[in-house]
Amino acid sequence: MKKPLLAALGALVITGTGLAAPAVAATAPSPGTVAAAKAPATVQAVTFAGTVSLSNCSGSVVRLPDSEDDDPALVMSNGHCLETGFPAAGEVIVDQASSRTFGLLNSAGTRVATLRASKIAYATMTDTDVSLYQLTTTYGQIKSSYGISALTLNDTHPVAGTAITVVSGYWKRTYACAVDGFAYRLKEGEWTWKDSVRYTSACQTIGGTSGSPVINNATGEVVAVNNTGNEDGGRCTDNNPCEVDESGNVTVRAGINYGQETHQIPACFGLDSKLDLSASGCALPKP
């Protein structure tokens, strides 16, 4: 998680609302993590279909397990990818008007349409790093007009060792690796995220990949949203997140990248893609 990508490009450094390319090998994994998980023999083909490009980030059109075709579609990215800038620690944005546009990609990564938001349904950088935009079009309209289905958010906790692909609509590039394990707390500057997904070192994501869906290769479902990585071995600073365990012990993994779990999102949305933070089982932070 870094400064806005366009500003960073102006400074000739690709950082910002995406990840800088790690240049340092990962440190040895802690006990209980999976260091060299392999993809299952049979997997679904992961493509760009349903992903989107933002002005400064990546994202995807996502649906809940129970979404219906006439529900307004949702686009998911990171909280730090908002057009209004980074939310402060503790800040939660709900139902804020937005007319942001997104470039919809087909399976080959070709832009086939421009989708428009009606509002930011939910966004925060507290406990997680996510933004969910409600669109002016429905899932059914997108499917009938462009032949593209939304990606489904898995509603169960991801599993260590799972083969995953980070799919960047901004760069039209994919990164394949596995879930190495989970960080009890991931701290970066003023922000702290809970139960973050740690990738194996093969996912060397770069600037502009922030907000990319992290897809389970075996199911094709989204298990996380890509958001940050430790660039140069710094300790708990901007662009250098650190892991903090239950006892407060800090671990720095230079060159390793992370995503934020998304299984908690479906419980917070109901019919017609309506946000309900008071719904049973909804654990997203509240304003």
Evaluate if residue 23 carries a pLDDT over 60: no
* pLDDT score for 29: 35
To the nearest whole number, what is the mean pLDDT of the chain?
88
Q: Evaluate if residue 42 carries a pLDDT over 60.
A: no
Taking the C-alpha atoms of residue 234 and residue 252, their distance in angstroms, rounded to an integer, is 7
Q: How far is CA 103 from the centre of its chain?
A: 17
Query: SS3 sequence, the chain?
Result: CCCCHHHHHHCCCCCCCCCCCCCCCCCCCCCCCCCCCCCCCCCCCCCCCCEEECCCCEEEEEECCCCCCCCEEEEEECHHHCCCCCCCCCCEEEEEECCCEEEEECCCCCEEEEEEEEEEEEEECCECCEEEEEEEEEHHHHHHHHCCCCEEECCCCCCCCCEEEEEECCCCEEEEEEEEEEEEEEEECCEEEEEEEEECCCCCCCCCCCCCEEEECCCCCEEEEEEEECCCCCCCECCECEEECCCCCEECCCCCEEEEECCCCHHHECHHHCECCCCCCCCCCCC
1 pLDDT above the threshold of 80 = no
Return the pLDDT at 44.
66
More confident residue, 26 or 218: 218
Confirm whether pTM is higher than 0.85.
yes
Structure tokens at 216: 């389970």
At residue 43, the pLDDT reads: 53
Tell me which of 224 and 27 has the higher pLDDT. 224
- State both tokens at 134: 């409600």
% pLDDT > 70, the chain: 85
pLDDT of residue 56: 94
Place of tokens 């995807």: 60
Q: How far apart are CA 242 and CA 42, in angstroms?
A: 34
> What is the identity of the amino acid at 218?
A
List phi, psi (to 5°) of 9: -65, -35
pLDDT band (50, 70, 90) for residue 45: confident
Provide long-range contacts, Cβ within 8 A and 24+ apart, for 141-145.
Answer: 141/73, 142/61, 142/73, 142/104, 142/113, 142/115, 143/69, 145/113
Q: What is the pLDDT of residues 210-265, one digit of tens each?
A: 999 999 999 999 999 999 999 999 999 999 999 999 999 999 999 999 999 999 99
Residue 40: pLDDT band (50, 70, 90) is very low
pLDDT in tens, 81-111: 999 999 999 999 999 999 999 999 999 999 9
pLDDT digits (tens, 9 = 90+) for 144-198: 999 999 999 999 999 999 999 999 999 999 999 999 999 999 999 999 999 999 9
Q: Which two tokens stand for residue 257?
A: 């990248």
